[in-house]
Amino acid sequence: MVEKVELVMRFHPVGGEDVSVLTTDFSGPDQALETIARALDERRSLVLTHARYNREATENALIVNLANVVSVRVATNDSETSGQYL
């Protein structure tokens, strides 16, 4: 079984402030970016089943409408200068 890691996904919407989400849905940043790219190609939303807004929050499911997102950054730590953009 592939171990899941906690990733920080930072979504930059068309309007408004960035939204950061912690998720354990993926085994690494490459898998996350591949899933996001596939959702974009298929013009559908990104569904995260194990996500939370901050470290103290409970885990929830989250649906991100990628039609309203300009960029996405995926990293293993929360930093404005680290991670991969899509």
Structural domain 7-77, CATH architecture: Roll (2.30)
Residue 7 has pLDDT above 70, yes or no: yes
- Rounded to the nearest 10°, the torsion over CA 7, 81, 79, 52 is -40
Share of the chain above pLDDT 70, in %: 87
18-48 pLDDT per residue, tens: 889 999 999 999 999 999 999 999 999 999 9
Is the Cβ–Cβ distance between 85 and 79 less than 8 Å? no
* pTM, rounded to two decimals: 0.80
- For residue 4, the model assigns a pLDDT of 80
